[in-house]
Chains A and B, each alone.
Chain A
Amino acid sequence: MSNWIDIAALGDIPQRGARVVKTSLGCVAVFRTAEDDVFALNNACPHKAGPLAEGIVHGKSVTCPLHNWVISLETGEAQGEDEGRVATYPARVENGRILLDRSFLRARAAA
């Protein structure tokens, strides 16, 4: 069962941009694409834990600012030759508000 929390307005994140949401166990990066799709991923690249929220967003991917790994926003998988996966969390937009799923964030906290 889902349990959505209103995080912020969609407009608080620029298109092709990201902002972080702080949790007690590190940050979740919330991305907004050019198409206004919203994705939530763990804010740490599987390579050297680079802050993905600081990366360049293109299509439905983000490039890590430290060593240019490209991570799929949909699956969290590293693209191309690189191997690794970032945890992803349910996120959606409703009436211009970004919503994250509380239970998944909790599960993460408990993990």
Chain B
Amino acid sequence: MTQKLVVIGAGMASGRVLEHLFDAGADYDVTLFNAEDRGNYNRIMLSPVLSGDKSYDDIVTHDTDWYESHGVTCRFGEHVTAIDREAKTVTGQNGTVPYDKLLIATGSAPFIIPVQGNDLPGVITYRDLDDTNAMIDAAAKGGKAVVIGGGLLGLEAAAGLAERGMEVTVLHLMGHLMERQLDESAGFLLRRDLQDKGVKVICQASTAAILGETQVEGVMLEDNTGLEADLVVMAVGIRPETRLANDAGLTVARGVEVNAQMQTSDPDIFAVGECVEFDGHLFGLVAPLYDQAKVVANSLMDEPDAFVVKELSTKLKVTGCDLFSAGDFSDGDGREDIVFRDPMRGVYRRLVVEDDVLVGAVMYGDTADSNWFFGLIRDKTAIAEMRETLIFGPAYQGGTPLDPLAAVAALPRDAEICGCNGICKGQIEDAIAAGATDLGAVRATTKASGSCGTCTGLVEQVLAVTLGDDFIMSAAASVCACTDMTHEDVRRMIKSQRLTSMPAVWQACNWTTPDGCHVCRPALNFYLLADWPLEYQDDPQSRFINERKHANIQKDGTFSVVPRMWGGITTPDELRAIADAADKYAVPTVKVTGGQRIDLLGVRGEDLPNIWSDLNDAGMVSGHAYSKGLRTVKTCVGADHCRFGTQDSTGLGIKLEKTLWGSWTPHKLKLAVSGCPRNCAEATCKDIGVVCVDSGYQISIGGAAGMDVRETELLVQVPTEEDTINVIKAVTQLYRENAKYLDRIYKWMGKVGLDWIKERIVDDLDERAALVDRFELSQSIYRKDPWAEHAAKKAASYQPLANLSLEAAE
């Protein structure tokens, strides 16, 4: 006999229950109540609806036809007012229906913080499509939004509103965002990324009142900070909607209590979803809801089944914020952390291990391997054997070094090979099949590798994989005899495989020598510190002597010492200190350099820490005259003194030098700032030159005056000093992230093209800002005086290991 099933609430859980029942052909006559005037839709996708990526139609899971074809009586837009367990009836606003089995799926209600003004028009919650539409309407008017609550829902609301053009501030009561899913470090990265999207975040913000007369106007915090608001979204949490169950006399704790068969205290009444409490747990994510739905369906069909609580994982659906969290990551006795940070790329991974089992994982920035980690947590896999490499993910388990050809062979056809021209592997394969059997032909027919050229190695590998033995790899110059890989290959491996140490590079790139040579080691040391400024420890033993000892070696083994003169400006006191040092250490030659400073030539190696210490005492620091890094910023006197000067070229030069000093680059980096187009500082033959004009600053790059002599080419003219400094920081960072070691800017520019550089620095202001950020991050480590550090900590290493002069003379 057909039984009557009444379902209260058309959410994701109950929708899934009905699917299971109908799929199994269960004999039920279903009446479905829903307070919202619509059927089941995918609530998780409300965020994409809010952000405009999807429409309501896209997220409907069950449409009218579906209900009709399964004979479901739909009572949408009708509130249920009572359940009568004696009579086994449910009463809605439009009448009463009898049931044999009842399913309560009333979901949850948003928590409204009890402050003054919380009922003003313009204060909304974020639970359903009506809320979403209300936000979309509000955003259409523009203005300011305040989102109270920095959890999953609040942040998705904030990002969506920002996407729609509102000025959004998130208020969060706790010390960091999403504190239930994230630890502090990941919370910080998330906050930074949201702020990049224009979402302002205030943590430890306790709301005191919502202000406004007839419409919300603002939010007042406990610390008396006032925020203007045209819209306030409350997303501080949810509580199970249990009023009907309570009124019906069912056992209710925080939620409607159910057993493992999802049965309430009344055996004919089941409950599912967010309104449920099972074994002390409440549920807010979709995975356990679906598990419950299956159990409910089986219970309704008298099939044995039992719900069990599983580990949960969370992902945030905000474009550009890749976040994953699973399991338990709180500190505890016997728990150990494995942490990987790559702040430059905004990547953070933390694994929590207890008794050789992974119990928690937080990933931010790169969540590609999240399913693998989640599997380890869920299956309680023993991880002792892979613990050393666990944090690097599944690609690192098994211990075989990576074969670049196998990696290329494994790429799907739609994998992008040439980022500049948007060419995928499949297009290259097609071109090869059509007769383009060498690099030049592929480049001519597809444009792949024709722009910046960094993917040349990859294109060749696609050729090799596709053609097999028919392809003869062109003899692209490898880094050195230790490897077959080119500089570009190695740089790509370092970035893509996250190689953060020299042994990792040797291993992954099949180095044939145990520890490299004098050619590759300085290059690798540079690539590693440029790509992983915080992670990688600079290795002095892989640096040429000049950079290891912070002085230039001369042909007789003595050194030259060049203190910095910011922008070429010095003082009588500095000159006296230099003269005193020259006397004290019997410096044979004192020379004025082309970079507007003074070179003390012929200093003995063991005197270096002492002469540095003396120069430090007079306020001078290393001039890095020995480095593949910033050398000098040459200036003319500019508007301060010169009757032609248009801007303060000296001042700008000093600012630039103080910003850039200490930075390592692929080759030496020389700058100059001229105060007018007469160009007395010779800015147009420097790596980066600035020529001041009345209307601003012309920044040009790629000059040289060495073995090659070249004039710079104009990158951009900007109106202010601040813009100038930012453009120069950005171009320096772009150069060091991409250029081959020992390529000056002009050589690098010859390979990638000035247009490629302009696209990133001039046309794309976001990219410029990101480059500036990465530059500053690196400079937080390297903008310091190595002389002071060596004089204080390493002075002994400059002395002979032992003195046997007397011994030998015995």
**A positions within 8 Å CB-CB of B:** 5, 7-8, 12-17, 19-25, 27, 30, 34-35, 48-51, 54-59, 61, 63, 65-66, 68, 70, 98, 102, 105-106, 108-109
Contact = CB atoms under 8 A, between A and B. Distances in A.
B809 A58 contact: no
A21 B545 contact: no
B518 A13 contact: no
Given A14-B540, A109-B808, A22 B802 contact: yes
B557 A21 contact: no
A109 B544 contact: no
A24 B541 contact: no
B541 A17 contact: yes
A109 B810 CA distance: 10
A21 B542 contact: no
B709 interface: no
Given A8-B802, A22-B805, A54-B545, A66 B516 contact: no
Contacts of B475: none
B736 interface: no
B803 A22 contact: yes
B302 interface: no
A26 to B, nearest CB: 10
Contacts of B541: 14-17, 56-57
A58 B518 contact: yes
Interface string B531-570: 0000000001111110011000101010000000000000
Nearest to B540: A14
Contacts of A19: 797, 800-801
B528 to A, nearest CB: 15
B518 A7 contact: no
15 contacts: A7-B801, A15-B541, A16-B515, A20-B800, A20-B801, A21-B800, A21-B804, A22-B802, A23-B804, A23-B808, A34-B515, A49-B557, A55-B518, A56-B544, A65-B553
Contact of B544 (A13, A25, A65): A65
A23 B553 CA distance: 22
B606 to A, nearest CB: 9
Given A21-B803, A56-B521, 10 more contacts: A13-B801, A19-B800, A19-B801, A20-B800, A21-B804, A58-B513, A59-B513, A66-B555, A102-B807, A105-B808
A55 to B, nearest CB: 7
B553 A68 contact: no
Interface in B779-810: 797, 800-809
Contacts of A22: 800, 802-805
A7 B808 contact: no
A62 to B, nearest CB: 9
Most chain-A Cβ atoms within 10 A of its Cβ — which of B540, B545, B801, B807?
Answer: B801
A24 B801 contact: no
Contacts of B516: 58
B517 interface: yes
A8 B796 CA distance: 13
B334 interface: no
Contacts of B802: 7-8, 21-22
Contacts of A106: 808
B809 A59 contact: no
Interface in B14-68: none
Residue from A17, A22, A30 with most neighbouring chain B CB atoms (10 Å): A22
A13 B555 CA distance: 24
